[in-house]
Amino acid sequence: MSDQSASRLDLLRFLERVQLQDLERTRSWIAAEEQRLAELAARLPPVPPAEWELELDLGRRPTMVHVGGCEMGGKGFRQKALSRDAALRALGVEKLQPCPFCRPDIELGVLD
């Protein structure tokens, strides 16, 4: 093995150590930020559930109206909070289906 290849190998190993140290430092910054966000979230009051919810399909098109907190409604990006007026409009004007389980049409006083 020549001196040149040995020194090149030493340089590559040095570079590897530096990069591993950088990675560890970045991971510690990430952990610290996650901890900070968790502490911040613990201090904030919980968001009250929406009174009415709109279920969206995978294409983000409205499909059904639910009473807030209905277990049959969409989850995550597949739900949208609605005001009472928006829920009434969705059922009456837009002719969306009410959930057959939580029956928002009855809760809102909408009769066909």
Please give the pLDDT value at position 74. 73
67-108 pLDDT, tens digit per residue, is: 998 888 777 778 899 999 999 999 988 999 999 999 999 888
Nearest to 98 by CA among 79, 76, 73, 61: 73
User: Contact, 89 vs 57, CB < 8 A?
Assistant: no
What's the CA gap between 90 and 63, in Å, rounded? 10
Higher pLDDT, 21 or 92: 21
Instruction: Examine the pLDDT at 3 and tell me if it is beyond 70.
Output: no
What's the CA gap between 57 and 45, in Å, rounded? 30
Instruction: Examine the pLDDT at 112 and tell me if it is beyond 80.
Output: no
Buried b (16+ CB within 10 A) or exposed e, 56-66: beeeeebebbb
The alpha carbons of the chain give a radius of gyration, in whole angstroms, of 27
Nearest to 80 by CA among 56, 48, 104: 56
Q: Please state whether beta strands 62-67 and 97-98 pair in parallel, antiparallel, or not at all (unpaired).
A: parallel
Please give the pLDDT value at position 110. 77
Q: What is the mean pLDDT of the chain?
A: 89
Domain boundaries, the chain: 1-44, 52-108
